[in-house]
Amino acid sequence: MKESFPKTIYALVGKIPAGKVATYGQLALLAGSPRASRIVGAVLAKVPQEKLLPCHRVIYATGALCPPHAFGHSAIQRQMLEQEGITFLPDGRVCLKKHLWDGSNTAE
């Protein structure tokens, strides 16, 4: 495995199953750098939707969604996740306890 970081991120995000969510830290961890959580976001920011990556399934480690400008609009990500079957808490956060992606099982 010698794929670049962004390449790894694309693969990981593309492996996130519907109805599940992954945190930037989680992707960074699977990518090989647990502290490169920022890189994950930066990479997704550079990579256009042409990759068809479900970046809307990527959220903060706290369960909060990423800033509105990330998807070009606010509450968009939330709407998408709701359609995926994600459960939102009254706090406005995703139920990480129920929808946190199990990337450890998908890691190769």
Site for DNA in 11-30 (CB under 7 A): 23-25
**Nearest CB to DNA, comparing residues 37 and 103:** 37
| Residues 70-90: b if buried by 16+ CB within 10 A, e if exposed | bbeeeeebbebbeebebeeee
Only one residue has tokens 């390449």, namely 7
Please give the radius of gyration of the chain, using alpha carbons only, rounded to the nearest integer. Answer: 13
Catalytic residue (one of 43, 44, 55, 59): 55
Clarify whether 66 is annotated catalytic. Answer: no
Could you give the CA distance from residue 62 to residue 91 in angstroms, rounded to a whole number? 11
10 binds DNA (CB under 7 A): no
47 binds DNA (CB under 7 A): yes
Binding site for DNA (CB under 7 A): 4-6, 23-25, 33, 35-47, 55, 58, 60-62, 66-67, 69-71
Catalytic residues: 55
